[in-house]
Structure 1
Amino acid sequence: MEQEKILSIENLVIKFKLRGQTLTAIRDISLDLYKGESLAIVGESGSGKSVLVKSIMGLLDKNGYIADGQIHFDGHDLSKFKTEADWLKVRGKKIAMVTQDPMTSLNPLKTIGKQIEESVVLHQGLKGNDAYEKTLQLLRDVGIHDVARRYKQYPHEFSGGMRQRIVIAIAVACNPQILICDEPTTALDVTIQAQILQLLTNLQEKYLLSTIYITHDLGVVAKVADRIAVMYAGDIIEVGQTEEVFFDAKHPYTWALISSLPQLGNKGEELYSIKGTPPNLFKEIKGDAFAPRNQYALKIDFVERPPFFKVTDTHYARTWLLDPKAPKVEPPEVLQAFFAEGRQYAND
């Protein structure tokens, strides 16, 4: 049975005007989000992940604009929205976001209860005691105890992990169809990260959310994402089910990202890092943007942008290495062992 698309991005191009120059931040991206799924968008800082999701919510900076393409959601093409009144029909109400820094998201002068209740009143239409009871329920849902007392407290009385839970409660209080989590665990230690990710998974199931995770850390999303889209220099270069991307990656950039995982390092040796820097997005990119950093690059990689090659019905990669005429290139040895182990684990 075919999954129902809740969001469909087609051939999206986003540009920014900066000091008389034009920067192309998103380069002809197409991506679907299916109802009830958890999609992770991963890539280095500056790859365009946050710009992509900001365009879905109408939060691009004033010098940014959609130059081409469509964003289909709920019967609308969001790329055509021009006014704040248009965006308020969608932002918060139907698409909500959890940001990476809860301290800048919360008002230090208001109790956390009142801040959650504002969303309940605005987006769910509840008032008085009904709104209060719903707020207490949301506090319980995000793992806060002694909710009546916590309702009256201020953000500075909460730890970083607890503040992130409050930000999540505010987003869920909007009763959205899509929840975007932009680096939701960046400022948290490892044990709290795991708790927050488990919390988001539980809320997704309870409220039937479709979730988009934005992160530079593949390891963070391994257990919570159904699918992964890998971004590089404003383009999606590989997309597939989580197991496919983790254990059968095809693009050399995805190989490099996985090789950077700390668990693949050897004690006493330097961790792997990707050599070189991403391309200058002020300049036109020819061929595969990763080619100058890619030890497996072919001559055509410097000339022509590769199309998406189909690996399976759910797995696609934008690399000339998948062309039938390309020489056979194996992933690095450390990854071959990791892939084999992962596939064995998945089959057990």
Structure 2
Amino acid sequence: MEEIQTKSRILSIQNLVIQFKLRGQVLTAIRNISLDLYKGESLAIVGESGSGKSVLVKSIIGLLEKNGSVAQGSILYKEDDLTKFSTEKDWLKIRGKEIAMVTQDPMTSLNPLKTIGKQIEECVILHQKLQGKEAYQRTLQLLKDVGIHDVEKRYKQYPHEFSGGMRQRIVIAIAIACNPKILICDEPTTALDVTIQAQILQLLKNLQQKYGLTTIYITHDLGVVAKVADRIAVMYAGDIIEVGQTHEVFFNGKHPYTWALLSSLPQLGAKGEELYSIKGTPPNLFKEIKGDAFAPRNPYALKIDFEERPPFFKVSETHYAKTWLLHPNAPKVELPQNLQAFFEEGRRFAHEH
């Protein structure tokens, strides 16, 4: 799959397979994924729990668990193939400095025994090579950039003196202090209430523009995606099954799994009726998957879905989907009623704007 983009490629994942050894068995968590990331864009990787989203980004930053390894493929960044890195020394050239990560639980990222000012300042000294008063002033500026007020006072406080939303802002400040080119946000708003979520997402958007960042969002929440992403990659059972610009996936999604995710949006529910939920469970990744992994849960599945894995079919220059429904010989299927209305409304909106 070769996507045509005007932007330059900053990271390229090619034919990636990641496996974990568990109690004498092999679990294939990432099943031959190829994906490009373009400079300055915001890419969201979406899928339900266990689809492989976090494993994929951990492999980019060298944080795979000890029993995990890259069985095949490459992750190209600048002149390096990151899958060839074998020591912590290798990864320290990249982690933080080039590619930084914001996790979903800020308390696990912060040292409870150090003031938050000192924790940010350590990164400023290490990555921006500033000392003394310059490092202190830069730290205060970073606190302001992430929306913290009364920064001199806050500099001297400890993580337990901050709310969850404030701690998430501190973790973001630490990531930005490293001056990275790529910022990975792994479910950055999961633990926060809805109003705080919106603030954090807006903050990340502002920082992306101010610092010229390329961002990757990991999320299962399509509502989050609509607010922040330029492009979406939909993951299922360790594979990317659809990728396209946000409006393409939202209002012209082609894979039945994408339809199922969209149908689960609360705003598509009918008053007085139960919210849609995807029937069945994801496949067992200890076993070899034949055909399309989503086939057993897919009401639109064709016979070939159970036999052969679909390739990427091209929908547009920027939109691809792995579903046999896009094959020229496939039967035409009727979209669910609620999705038809949603797609039409979205296309109308896109046309008007």
The alignment's TM-score, normalised by the length of structure 2, stands at 0.98
> Partner of 2:43: helix, strand, or coil?
strand
Unaligned runs of 5+ in 2: none
Tell me if 1:16 matches 2:15: no
Q: For 1:289, which of 288, 293, 315 is the aligned residue?
A: 293
What is aligned with 2:104? 100
How far apart, CA to CA, are the structure 2 residues paired with 1:150 and 1:317?
A: 48
SS at match of 1:39: strand
| Aligned match of 1:77 | 81
Q: CA deviation at 1:133?
A: 0.4
Count of aligned positions: 348
Partner in structure 2 of residue 86 of structure 1: 90
Residue in structure 2 matched with residue 244 of structure 1 by the alignment: 248
- 1:172 maps to a residue whose letter is I
Report what 2:116 is aligned to.
112
Out of 44, 48, 54, the position equivalent to 1:50 is 54
Question: How many Å separate the matches in 2 of 1:93 and 1:3?
Answer: 22
2:171 corresponds to 1:167: yes
Q: What's the % identity of the aligned pairs? A: 82
Query: Quick one: which of 144, 147, 154 aligns to 2:148?
Result: 144
| Per-residue deviation, 1:3 | 1.4
After TM superposition, the structure 1 = structure 2 runs for residues 1-348 of structure 1, keeping only pairs within 5 Å, are: 2-348=6-352
Determine the C-alpha separation between the residues in 1 that align with 2:50 and 2:131. Answer: 42
For residues 267 and 191 of structure 1, the distance between their equivalents in structure 2, rounded to whole angstroms, comes to 24
> C-alpha separation between the residues in 2 aligned to 1:14 and 1:229?
18
Q: CA deviation at 1:74?
A: 1.6
Unaligned runs of at least 5 residues, structure 1: none
Q: CA deviation at 1:214?
A: 0.1
- Offset, 1:347: 1.4
User: For 1:230-287, what per-residue CA distance to the aligned partner results, in whole angstroms no more than 9, with x for missing partners?
Assistant: 0000000000000000000000000000000111112221110000000000000000
Cα deviation digits, residues 183-239 of structure 1 (max 9, x gap):
000001111101000000000000000000000111111021000000000000000
Following TM superposition, the consecutive aligned residue runs of length 4 or more in structure 1 with deviations greater than 3 angstroms are none
**CA distance, structure 2, for counterparts of residue 263 and residue 173 of structure 1:** 38
Moved more, 104-113 or 317-326: 104-113
- Once residues 173 and 253 of structure 2 are traced to their aligned partners in structure 1, the CA distance between those partners, rounded to angstroms, is 35
Give deviations 1:297-326, integer Å, cap 9, x for gaps. Answer: 000000000000000000000000000000
Aligned-CA RMSD value: 0.7
Q: Name the SS for the 2:250 alignment partner.
A: helix
